[in-house]
Structure 1
Amino acid sequence: MQNITIAIDGFSSTGKSTVAKQLAKHLGYIYVDTGAMYRAVTLYTMQNGWIDKDQFDVDALVSNLDKIVISFTFNPELGFAEVYLNGVNIEREIRTLEVSSFVSKVAAIPEVRYQLVKQQQKMGKDKGVVMDGRDIGTVVFPYAELKLFMTASADKRAIRRFDELIGRGDDVKYEDVLRNVKERDYIDSHREDSPLVQAEDAIAIDNSDLTLEQQFDTVLNLVNKTLEDLA
């Protein structure tokens, strides 16, 4: 059976990473969380004091992009690859609401997208990859054999994100999470470079009312159909 490239795009907190991890494990494919890569760059930007609620020193970030090394290391206990920034595990640090509040601004910088897209394309050059993000089916892998576009209502996505953060022990308010979801939607959809849009040949999946099992079964059926059509 031939390997294919599976591109999963969609809004924040639509479960892209969850279903992508499930698929990669089921198929024996490589999984790449591109959102984590942008979060890593955002964390680096925050650590250096180049961004906060009052300012964003874009020039400083762009001039230091060559100092940012992002890698993924598989954790057998967790069952997925964790993100490393310059050799340090940052899987937990990048999932905070604070990082979420800045990541769309950092991801909108053309130079940042250019550097990360090059890395992403290299990771998937041999196929057998499941990659999720905002522009995978439109920019990173426009010729992917299967493209999916995940969506859900802002309220449902905010509830999921809120529950996730509370479950980790973070002190957050639902209203702040909902505001962040809506702000990220707007920035992601309106940025000039690689805005979030559904590829013409992508299959839309609204998982507002789907369980994780139903979502996985839906996606796996689409994968199997694609493989059968290519056989």
Structure 2
Amino acid sequence: MDGPAGAGKSTVAKRLAEELGYLYLDTGAMYRAVALAAQRAGVSPEKEEDLCLLAEKAAIELVPGKDGVRVFLNGEDVSEAIRTPEIDRLSSLVAKVAGVRRILVDKQRALGARGGVVAEGRDMGSVVFPEADVKFFLTASPEVRARRRFEELKKRGLDPDFPKVLAEIIERDRQDQERPIAPLVVPPGAIIIDTSNLEVEEVLRLVLAKVKEKLA
């Protein structure tokens, strides 16, 4: 399941995995974890060799819990620490580094090889799992996605500025679409769903119906 930031893919992918009894593979969280490790170590995204060493050594675990999948970095629960605007920005820069992508793609494919996986990210159907049984591309207008992000930040007790959030969404889109390695694209054969005017339950019903149809 691919798509830009704020399209709803994380929420839908989690729910879909629950419905199917599959593993939810949040690949974006893996890039965020590397970005957090780099931030803590004082490693700049421009230092590719150092970043690759961090990514190689990082023990990243996705552990199902009562409130969804928890993300662990070297044994520490960093589920909240990786969801900040600064890590948003850094993870997009980290994702541009070819060596880091190769390392994380290998880790993602190893998890996917077990089968029964709902993988979510920005290059799942195009690069990581091009032979996936079913591919989805979720999208929504930048304004709708910014509003969702704005509300999410408010729920965390932050005081976001909507114009700034919108500008960050637009900039993230530009970075994701223009990066030379695995840019954000609609994968061949993907089912495109515009979630701008749909509730989560409506999107989930659409996705579930398509999955059951494809796997029947």
Q: TM-score range by the shorter chain?
A: over 0.9
**Corresponding residue number in structure 2 for 1:48:** 41
Paired residues of 2:55 and 2:104 also in contact (CA < 8 A): no
Whole-angstrom distance in 1 between the partners of 2:25 and 2:193: 20
TM (norm. structure 2) is: 0.96
Does the residue aligned with 1:95 lie in a helix, a strand or coil?
coil
Task: Please give the per-residue CA displacement for 1:65-116, whole angstroms capped at 9, x wherever unaligned.
Answer: 322111111212x1x2210011100000111111112211111100110000
Cα deviation for residue 57 of structure 1 reads: 3.0
Equivalent of 2:150 in 148, 151, 162: 162
Q: Which residue of 2 aligns with 1:58?
A: 48
Aligned partner of 1:121 in structure 2 is: 109
Q: Matched residues, percent identical?
A: 44
Q: Quote the Cα distance in structure 2 between the aligned partners of 1:176 and 1:84.
A: 29
Distance 1:65 1:155, change over 3 A: same
1:49 is aligned with what amino acid? G
1:163-205 deviation line (CA, Å, top 9, x unaligned): 0011011232112211111111011111111111111210100
Cα distance between partner residues in 1 of 2:58 and 2:164? 30
- Aligned pairs, number: 216
Task: Return the match for 1:73 from 56, 63, 67.
Answer: 63
Q: For 1:134 and 1:28, locate their aligned partners in 2 and report how far apart those are by CA, in whole Å.
A: 23
What's the Cα RMSD here? 1.2
Counterpart Cα distance in 2 of 1:64 and 1:101: 18
| Corresponding position of 1:82 | 70
Equivalent-residue separation in structure 2 for 1:129 and 1:59 (angstroms): 31
> Whole-Å Cα distance in 2 between the matches of residues 67 and 225 of structure 1?
41
Q: Which letter maps to 2:63?
A: T
8 Å Cα contact 1:100-1:180 kept in structure 2: no
- State how far apart, in whole Å, the 2-side matches of 1:98 and 1:30 are: 28
**Are 1:213 and 2:201 counterparts?**
yes
Match of 1:93?
Answer: 81
Secondary structure in 1 aligned to 2:180? coil
Task: Provide runs of 4+ in structure 1 moved above 2 Å.
Answer: 55-60, 62-67
Q: Which amino acid aligns with 1:38?
A: Y
Secondary structure class of the residue paired with 2:135: strand
Alignment partner, residue 163 of structure 2:
175
Q: 1:3 maps to which residue?
A: none
**Structure 2: distance between partners of 1:44 and 1:94:** 10
Report the AA paired with residue 107 of structure 2.
Answer: Q
Contact persistence 1:50–1:58 (CA under 8 A): no
Please give the TM-score of this superposition, normalised by the length of structure 1: 0.90
Gaps of 5+ in 2: none
Match of 1:11 in 2: 4
